[in-house]
């Protein structure tokens, strides 16, 4: 017993022996035999492989990792809420600085001016991008931002409008989060199925709008990639006295199309991942949240403001904290009392490095690539684009053979062809969501088109 060495247990063999002596047992096994019923004891050593050295563990790990197929090694046309754009190398070096490594919004302005200024600038850039007046310090991700926006719309209506309508073409996972977020306890959520053109059916929406509806939430570009008619929606929704909530999954779209704010949105939320964060297995992401100044007191989350100190020098401080639960727990606008500090900072670095022109350039090149790719795919026999509407960098393709099988085949040829819609809707087996960004080369796109054609012809012939 005494010579056994426990690498990850801080007690030494001598200490263990001493403790056993105090309680009166000769060994740990003897102690366990006394306190654990015999049938529950394993009665043999655990079937573990022999210990190996650190070097051997790293080697084994590297071999496993080399089998991964990911967006960095394959030509990637995946989107559906996670978007791959070029991340300037400088961002990694800047964001890795130890001073930034806090997930929490600091309370004390006297020790946190740098962090607070970073958040203030992040808020300012989110406002510019969305065409809104005030943005918070961020929330967890795009999906929770949407749920918080619907809660907020319910507060704006003073709880007197118990229904919220979500466009059916909002990301299905965002819709799911809205349900699991506890929204159903407060408002009756109704999904409005998209019309035949893949966008929200304005006539059907108008028919379902009444004084019970606090907001209509719509994604644009929507989950099928299409641009919604936001000005018409805003008019319709406002005529019914409700708020228009717009959710954006890749904010680059706001640099190419009229911003949601300019189109009349009351609350704009979004996923910030596309702005300088990697598509690393789903997170951590960052939720963007912006609204109109007149609604700021019902807005959830942290808010940093700029002010002056006693010497007249500019300074930054958390403001309008009376909305928050550390001031008024039961009346707080949200139970989120933190933000995605580091991720928000990273997106702020991205936005400031690229600037408005750079972001627009990324958007234009992504759009041009998607146009090129969509036309080439549509020209393949058996493939078609079911919707004629404008899209940004993502579009739906109807495939002649099941899309999930196509995707699987193409991975073996070094291409992630897209996201099969059957992943979310089992009955939509012949639909593929394809995304192209500025990172997809002409050669990658031509190879995708060639492989799609070859495999569809082969599978179609075999069937």
Partner 1 sequence: MQFPADLKYTKEHEWLRVDGDVVTVGVTDFAQDALGDVVYVDLPEVDGAVSAGDTVAEIESVKAVSDVYSPVTGQIVAVNEELDGSEESINEDPYGAGWLFQIKLADVAELDGMMDVAAYQAFVAEQEH
Binding site for partner 1 (CB under 8 A): 158, 160, 297, 322, 327-328, 331
As measured in angstroms, the least distance from the Cβ of 322 to partner 1 is 5
- Express the helix, strand and coil content of the chain in percent, nearest 5 each: 45, 15, 45
Nearest to partner 1 of 307, 441 (CB atom): 307
As measured in angstroms, the least distance from the Cβ of 328 to partner 1 is 6
As measured in angstroms, the least distance from the Cβ of 331 to partner 1 is 8
DSSP annotation of 169: T
CA distances from 329 to 333, 335, 398 (A): 9, 8, 50
Nearest to partner 1 of 96, 322 (CB atom): 322
Nearest to partner 1 of 323, 369 (CB atom): 323
Nearest to partner 1 of 323, 430 (CB atom): 323
Tokens of 451: 């492989």
As measured in angstroms, the least distance from the Cβ of 159 to partner 1 is 11
As measured in angstroms, the least distance from the Cβ of 307 to partner 1 is 13
Nearest to partner 1 of 70, 328 (CB atom): 328
Question: Hey, CA dihedral for 42, 44, 47, 49, is it positive or negative?
Answer: positive
List beta partners, residue 305: 317
The angle that helices 28-35 and 13-23 make with each other, rounded to 10 degrees, is: 40
Contact 369, 142 (CB under 8 A): no
As measured in angstroms, the least distance from the Cβ of 145 to partner 1 is 24
Tokens 């401080």 sit on residue: 317
Nearest to partner 1 of 238, 297 (CB atom): 297
As measured in angstroms, the least distance from the Cβ of 213 to partner 1 is 17
Among 316, 321, 349, 353, smallest CA distance to 334 is for: 321
Nearest to partner 1 of 180, 293 (CB atom): 293
Nearest to partner 1 of 335, 441 (CB atom): 335
Name the strand (E) or helix (H) holding 314. Answer: strand 314-318
DSSP annotation of 131: T
Tokens of 60: 């084994």
As measured in angstroms, the least distance from the Cβ of 107 to partner 1 is 18
Contact 105, 302 (CB under 8 A): yes
Name the strand (E) or helix (H) holding 192. Answer: strand 188-192
Cα(137)–Cα(127) distance, integer angstroms: 11
How many other β-carbons are positioned within 10 Å of the β-carbon of residue 404? 17
């Amino acid at each position: 017993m005494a010579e056994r060495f426990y690498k990850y247990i801080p007690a030494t063999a001598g200490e263990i022996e001493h403790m056993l002596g105090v309680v009166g047992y000769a060994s740990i096994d003897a102690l366990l035999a006394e306190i654990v019923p015999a049938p529950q004891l394993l009665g043999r050593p655990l079937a573990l492989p022999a210990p190996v050295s650190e070097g051997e563990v790293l080697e084994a790990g590297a071999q496993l990792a080399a089998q991964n197929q990911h967006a960095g090694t394959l030509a990637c046309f995946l989107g559906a809420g996670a978007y791959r754009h070029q991340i300037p190398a400088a961002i990694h070096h800047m964001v890795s600085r130890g001073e930034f490594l806090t997930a929490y919004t600091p309370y004390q302005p006297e020790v946190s001016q740098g962090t607070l200024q970073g958040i203030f600038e992040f808020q300012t850039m989110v406002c510019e991008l969305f065409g809104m007046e005030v943005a918070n310090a961020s929330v967890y991700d795009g999906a929770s931002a949407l749920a918080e926006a619907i809660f907020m719309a319910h507060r704006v209506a003073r709880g007197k409008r118990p229904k919220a309508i979500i466009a059916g073409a909002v990301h299905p996972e965002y819709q799911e989060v809205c349900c699991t977020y506890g929204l159903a306890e407060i408002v009756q959520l109704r999904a409005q199925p998209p019309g035949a053109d893949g966008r929200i059916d304005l006539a059907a929406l108008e028919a379902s709008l009444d004084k019970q509806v606090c907001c209509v939430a719509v994604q644009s570009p929507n989950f099928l990639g299409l641009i919604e008619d936001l000005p018409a929606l805003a008019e319709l929704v406002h005529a019914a006295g409700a708020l228009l909530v717009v959710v954006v999954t890749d904010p680059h779209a706001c640099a190419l199309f009229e911003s949601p704010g300019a189109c009349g949105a009351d609350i704009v939320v979004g996923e910030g991942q596309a702005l300088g964060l990697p598509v690393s297995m789903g997170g951590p992401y960052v939720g963007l949240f912006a609204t109109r100044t007149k609604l700021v007191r019902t807005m959830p989350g942290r808010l940093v403001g700029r002010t002056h100190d006693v010497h007249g020098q500019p300074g930054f401080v958390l403001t309008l904290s009376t909305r928050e639960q550390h001031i008024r727990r039961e009346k707080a606008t949200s139970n989120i009392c933190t933000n995605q500090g580091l991720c928000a900072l990273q997106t702020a670095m991205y936005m400031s490095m690229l600037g408005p022109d750079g972001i627009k350039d990324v958007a234009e090149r992504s759009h041009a690539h998607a146009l090129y790719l969509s036309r080439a795919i549509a020209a393949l026999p058996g493939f078609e684009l079911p919707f004629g509407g404008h899209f940004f960098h993502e579009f739906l393709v109807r495939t002649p053979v099941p899309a999930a099988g196509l995707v699987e085949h193409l991975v073996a040829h070094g291409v992630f062809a897209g996201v099969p819609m059957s992943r979310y809707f089992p009955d939509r087996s012949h639909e593929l969501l394809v995304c192209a960004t500025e990172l997809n080369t002409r050669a990658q796109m031509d190879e995708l088109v060639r492989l799609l054609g070859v495999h569809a012809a082969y599978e179609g012939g075999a069937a």
